[in-house]
Amino acid sequence: MLGNFSYHNPTKLYFGEDSLSNLKTELANYGKNILFVYGGGSIKKSGLYDEIITILNECGKNVAEVAGVMPNPTSDKLNEGVAIAREHKTDFILAVGGGSVCDFSKAVSVSVNCGDDPWEKYFIRFEEPTCEIVPVGCVLTMAGTGSEMNGGSVITNHEAKLKIGHVFGDDVMPKFSILNPRYTMTLPKYQMAAGIYDILNHICEQYFSGEDDNTSDYISEGLMKSLIHSSRIAVENPQDYEARSNIMWTATWALNTLVSRGKSEDWMVHMLGQAVGAYTDATHGMTLAAVSLPYYRYIMPYGLKKFARFATEVWGVSAEGKTDEQLANEGLFAMESWMKEIGLVMNISELGATEDMIEGIADATIILNGGYNVLDRDEIVQILKASM
């Protein structure tokens, strides 16, 4: 743990099958005007919508709704949400859904009292909120993004063909999040697998960077091992509560700032995946899966020791008589087998990307520092071609 850093995560988590019973007590801490935000209507099918409405009524709240938040929430939808929130004089935003609904709600929360265009201010100019932030609470129905315990928000602008994330400070983190693993069980297997890979990749983005000896990397290895173990059980039997609960808990801790403390981070797989997402509107986790192996195989020689450690500590590859390079290769091979086993999409063509999009996707890829080697645009193009 070298360098100076701080850690502060005030989000209160309620976990388990009965966790929704805490919603009423939490809502008592906030004002009357609630903005109820949700997605495509799966919560209506599952009955959760009715449960939430009943609780809101019992609390005597005054409710406005923003429905139809899409998997990659758009800047147009954000503007619509902000307008409804203003009109309603929103005291509190209740996000019920997956990471997209949480991300969207946080973007609304920093925009309601801000005169500026939110997309321009937060996602192009990367400014921090200076206005009053409307508090947000989450009821999570999908495990993956970690949005339930962080300040992150990813918004897509289709016109500009850009999908950009902004990680806000701890004052934008949800005040509370309710995590019931049962809610994740109605999700199609494709979405579950995409969520699982999103979790693993969040950890990898923080793990594959830096050379110093760091407790964070050991915590990351523990989280990855738990995830890999439980993912195999969940893919066999999506109704296995214990496996689904471990996956849900791992998702939260994979991206709530803990495992990045005291170290550098990479995030290039997300930059590549988000650019693919801006062009294809494909499921976030699948875009990450499809670009991962070409990226990691490209970057591996620059971070050989860490990739060798990944092989032995996460995948249980035996080190006996092997060079770091052999180990590193075997680790990525083990990861590839697991990715296929849980049903991930392994190339971007399958997600709708075509050869003629490559240059545009490369342009939309934000190049970040932090990884074992900083890519140039030609290398981005190479990796995208290798991902086809």
Nearest distance from C-beta of residue 194 to a copy of itself, angstroms: 20
The conformation of residue 357, written as its DSSP 8-state character, comes to G
The answer to the question of residue 322 lying near a copy of itself (CB under 8 A) is: no
Q: What's CA 329's distance to the chain center, in Å?
A: 27
Nearest distance from C-beta of residue 233 to a copy of itself, angstroms: 8
Provide the token pair at 324: 């770091």
The answer to the question of residue 239 lying near a copy of itself (CB under 8 A) is: no
Rounded CA gap, 226 and 213, in Å? 22
> Taking contact as CB under 8 A, which single stretch among the options 93-101, 255-263, 303-311, 328-336 is the one that binds a copy of itself?
255-263
> Taking contact as CB under 8 A, which single stretch among the options 59-67, 133-141, 247-255, 327-335 is the one that binds a copy of itself?
247-255
Nearest distance from C-beta of residue 245 to a copy of itself, angstroms: 4
The answer to the question of residue 332 lying near a copy of itself (CB under 8 A) is: no
The answer to the question of residue 243 lying near a copy of itself (CB under 8 A) is: yes
The answer to the question of residue 236 lying near a copy of itself (CB under 8 A) is: no
Q: What's CA 2's distance to the chain center, in Å?
A: 26
The answer to the question of residue 257 lying near a copy of itself (CB under 8 A) is: no
Nearby residues of 294 by Cβ (< 8 Å), 6 or more positions away: 383, 386, 387
The answer to the question of residue 12 lying near a copy of itself (CB under 8 A) is: yes
Amino acid type, 27: L
> Taking contact as CB under 8 A, which single stretch among the options 42-50, 256-264, 296-304, 363-371 is the one that binds a copy of itself?
256-264
The answer to the question of residue 2 lying near a copy of itself (CB under 8 A) is: yes
Nearest distance from C-beta of residue 232 to a copy of itself, angstroms: 12
Taking the CA atoms of 81, 9, 29 and 145 in sequence, report the sign of the dihedral they define.
Answer: positive
The answer to the question of residue 7 lying near a copy of itself (CB under 8 A) is: yes
Q: Binding residue for a copy of itself (CB under 8 A) from 147, 245, 283, 329? A: 245
Q: Binding residue for a copy of itself (CB under 8 A) from 262, 343, 360, 370? A: 262
The answer to the question of residue 266 lying near a copy of itself (CB under 8 A) is: no
Q: Which of residues 71-110 bind a copy of itself (CB under 8 A)?
A: none
- Which contiguous run of DSSP H or E holds residue 166? strand 162-167
Q: How crowded is the C-beta side of 173, counted as CA atoms within 13 Å?
A: 21
Q: Which of residues 196-225 bind a copy of itself (CB under 8 A)?
A: 212-215, 217-223, 225
> Taking contact as CB under 8 A, which single stretch among the options 5-13, 58-66, 138-146, 190-198 is the one that binds a copy of itself?
5-13
Beta strands 12-15 and 152-157, pairing class: unpaired
17 dihedral zone (left: phi>0; alpha: psi -120 to 50; beta): alpha
Q: Are 258 and 218 in contact (CB under 8 A)?
A: no
The answer to the question of residue 3 lying near a copy of itself (CB under 8 A) is: yes
The answer to the question of residue 181 lying near a copy of itself (CB under 8 A) is: yes
Q: Quick check: helix, strand or coil at residue 14?
A: strand
The answer to the question of residue 8 lying near a copy of itself (CB under 8 A) is: yes
Taking the CA atoms of 146, 26, 114 and 62 in sequence, report the sign of the dihedral they define.
Answer: positive
Q: Are 244 and 191 in contact (CB under 8 A)?
A: no
Taking the CA atoms of 71, 76, 80 and 81 in sequence, report the sign of the dihedral they define.
Answer: positive
| Residue of 336, 335, 337, 338 whose CA lies nearest to 311 | 335
Q: Which is nearer to a copy of itself, 119 or 168 (CB)?
A: 168
Phi, psi angles (nearest 5°) of residue 170: -70, -15
| Residue of 329, 323, 320, 275 whose CA lies nearest to 297 | 329
Nearest distance from C-beta of residue 5 to a copy of itself, angstroms: 5
Nearest distance from C-beta of residue 300 to a copy of itself, angstroms: 23
Number of residues that bind a copy of itself (CB under 8 A): 48
The answer to the question of residue 238 lying near a copy of itself (CB under 8 A) is: no
The conformation of residue 352, written as its DSSP 8-state character, comes to T
Q: Point out which residues bind a copy of itself (CB under 8 A).
A: 1-19, 22, 181, 212-215, 217-223, 225-226, 229-230, 241-243, 245-246, 248-250, 253, 258, 261-262
